[in-house]
Structure 1
Amino acid sequence: MTLSDTDLTHLRRCIELAREALDDGDEPFGSVLVSATGETLFEDRNHVAHGDATRHPEFEISRWAAMNLDAQERAAATVYTSGEHCPMCSASHGWVGLGRIVYVASSRQLSGWLREWGVGPSPVAPLAITDVVPAAIVDGPAPELEAEIRELHRRRFA
């Protein structure tokens, strides 16, 4: 699927949040939750640098949505994110019943970059979102933004 200009705008915001995370000493991931009407409802970036490896922005979006949106609003919302959800975040997305997911770079891409840079594997398998949540509606990657997010990840390990 070709991503729309609106999709790319939200994904650029995710990259800005990822850059903020990296500049603060954290892993470069950022995510935005957008309502069916196009309103940004919630955004966050990674907060794992202080020891809690569950503080992913996609997981925080799931928590926020569960507390603040009804089931219909969650299903109609879109999650934009700089990187494809890890299995933990995919599961939270599925359990909460969030709608479409759009990402810049896939788990497979990130895993390949890490191997290329000599970085050891993640402690969690790099599964596709639909391996965890088969009915998820997922769009990505975004080739036009790939170089920018790749560079943020490279800087993290430079």
Structure 2
Amino acid sequence: MFKTTLQRGSLTPLMSSIRGTAKGVKILNPSADLLPYKGEPVTNKPVKVALETGKSYSWCSCGLSKVQPFCDGTHRKDGLTDVRPVKFQVEKSGEYYLCNCKQTATRPICDRSHKEVSGAPKDLHATQFVMFGDNSPVYDGVARKLGYKPKNEGFQ
């Protein structure tokens, strides 16, 4: 599945690709496109954007940018993410649907992966109780000092 094309007279790969490629889009930083991480879904719909030939764009692949679908540098904050923006150019000026669920295999163009993204919040199944074991007397003391009352083998 990993495909490498060698440039004639050279031992360096011209292009390495694991993902599908979007037609009419030239990726300027292939290493960012090959990262296996997928960002946080912003919406489950693509964004229609007018793009021009010759201009370079940075598509947010982490999902944390405030200027979606483009990158604003939020990914640079320590501890947030290892994902980098995908820098690209289009071969023909026009309107393009850029992915906003961040799950596309043809970054940055939408491939309708948003149809498979759950709309449920990530904390939907998080517990509402604080659980502890019998061997945690420190936590037990702190919880009592904070006013929590033991109930059902946990504090509420």
TM-score of Structure 1 vs Structure 2, range by shorter chain: under 0.3
Q: 1 or 2, which has the higher strand percentage?
A: 2
TM-score, normalising length from structure 1?
0.25
Q: 1 or 2, which has the higher helix percentage?
A: 1
The structure having more radius of gyration, on CA atoms, is: 2
TM-score, normalising length from structure 2?
0.26
